[in-house]
Structure 1
Amino acid sequence: MNMEMLRSIQGLQAPMKLSLERKFANKIGCLPFLPSSNLQHDVLTGRYLDIGFEDILNTPELREVSPQPNSSVERSLGIL
């Protein structure tokens, strides 16, 4: 979405609100052993309408071996 056009149509608050929503959607995380869909960020950017290679063949749910939750959390915290 063009921010200049959005600013001229709806005012200064609209592009600021959209950029803040995108920023916070990128910061949302989950536990290290759970797959993240990033659905909120995809909706805000319009990417949820596109189907790409990574949507079909690169999904963590389809891996043959899933990581152990305890070791994943310990690795992310620097304990292991």
Structure 2
Amino acid sequence: MEDEAVELIQAGVAPDDSRAMELMERQFQAVSEFWTPSRESFTGLGQGYVDHPDFKARYDAKHPALAEFLRDAMAAYAEQRLA
């Protein structure tokens, strides 16, 4: 999922683009194997990717904009698809 997100970033795809939403659907399904996130908690998880130093460093190692892209895409997904 992360490598695909990097490809989207490099292609200039916006976090709320349908391609990003398809990727976030897979992210949501993966997270849902452990717990069922609400709109707020899925958005909060994405924010944690930016705010938590360990997550941020992990994603920055793949691409310097990855954490922010994931945060924004997860927020857009939550807004569009979660009640």
TM-score (norm 1): 0.26
Q: Which has the higher contact order (CA 8 A, sep 6+)?
A: 2
Query: Which structure: greater helix fraction?
Result: 2
